[in-house]
Amino acid sequence: MREIVFKMERPGLVEEGQTVEVSESVTPVNVNYMIEPAVAMSGLFKFNERLKSRQGVVKSIIQNERGYYVTVEFDE
């Protein structure tokens, strides 16, 4: 299992236990992922850290002073 944390701006866009699809954005230097449809965005990853799966399950949603953070678990 692999976990990735995504930053979400508003509450209620996904729920714990929900299966989500992610899309990949590639730049010349790295890649990042977005929960579709444009719900939350991940940080940056090196090419050798790319996801093999495009579907995961929301494990947790945490709110703090900086916003909402969604942890998604991928079967890798």
CA distance 45 to 26: 10
Does residue 48 sit in helix, strand or coil? helix
pTM of the model: 0.91
CA distances from 25 to 5, 10, 50 (A): 16, 22, 11
The Cα–Cα gap between 52 and 49 comes to 9
Give the pLDDT band (50/70/90) at residue 21.
very high
pLDDT in tens, 29-47: 999 999 999 999 999 999 9
